[in-house]
Amino acid sequence: MHGQYDLATRQSVAVTSMLDVGATDRVHEAKARTLWPGVDYRSLDIDRTNRHDYYDFADVDRTFDLVTLIEVVEHVPPKVAVELMQNCFRVCRSGGYLLTSVPNVYTPGIQSEWTHIAALHYLDILGLAAWAGFEVVDAARVYFGSGRHWFVHAGLLHPLHRVLGVDYAQAIAVLAKKP
């Protein structure tokens, strides 16, 4: 899989409203508008140096078809990650979806970024979503490299990766649904 949003598109998730949690500089807005033309895109981030619709979950007074939490929970302590997931559940409409991703801890060097506080195994993110009340629909490893690079790792080096216990996919993405 070459992007977190591939999970939502391969499950044919219909999105008319979206909340991008941890939106930084609204980096995912263009992708969302391409995938779902006319989407009511909103962003939430505590960083007030960028323009956002919300700076705190307490300000969110509505629900959304899709809530995204892309590469966020590894930057906060576990207690805050649980609170984030609970808040995502609260602002997701019934029948709506959560799309979340974290760095793949089996990719060498991926966890070495100094802002990463927690290293989450893929089962941790599945469990966190389920614990908050979501039903996991799909999960996948996400690879951001070129096709040639993927071929070398997936095709030629795969047996070596298995022996060493490493992975070439840089992230794990999870799509979950609110009952």
5-177: CATH, from 3.40.50.920, 3.40.50.1100, 3.90.1170.50, 3.40.50.150: 3.40.50.150
SS (H, E, C) the chain: CCCCHHHHHHCCCCCCEEEEECCCCCCCHHHHHHHCCCCEEEEECCCCCCCCCECCHHHCCCCEEEEEEECCHHHCCHHHHHHHHHHHHHHEEEEEEEEEEEECCCCCCHHHCCCCCCCCCHHHHHHHHHHHCCEEEEEEEECCCCHHHHHHHHHHCHHHHHHHCCCCCCEEEEEEECC
> What are the pLDDT digits (tens) for 66-102?
999 999 998 899 999 999 999 999 999 999 999 999 8
Per-residue confidence (pLDDT) for residue 91, from 0 to 100: 98
Q: What is the pLDDT of residues 28-47, one digit of tens each?
A: 999 999 999 999 999 999 99
- pTM (two decimals): 0.87
**Exposure b/e, 37-60, CB count within 10 A at least 16 = b:** eebebbbbbeeeeeebbbeebeeb
Half-sphere exposure in the Cβ direction for 49 (13 Å, CA): 2
For residue 121, name the pLDDT band (cuts at 50, 70, 90).
confident
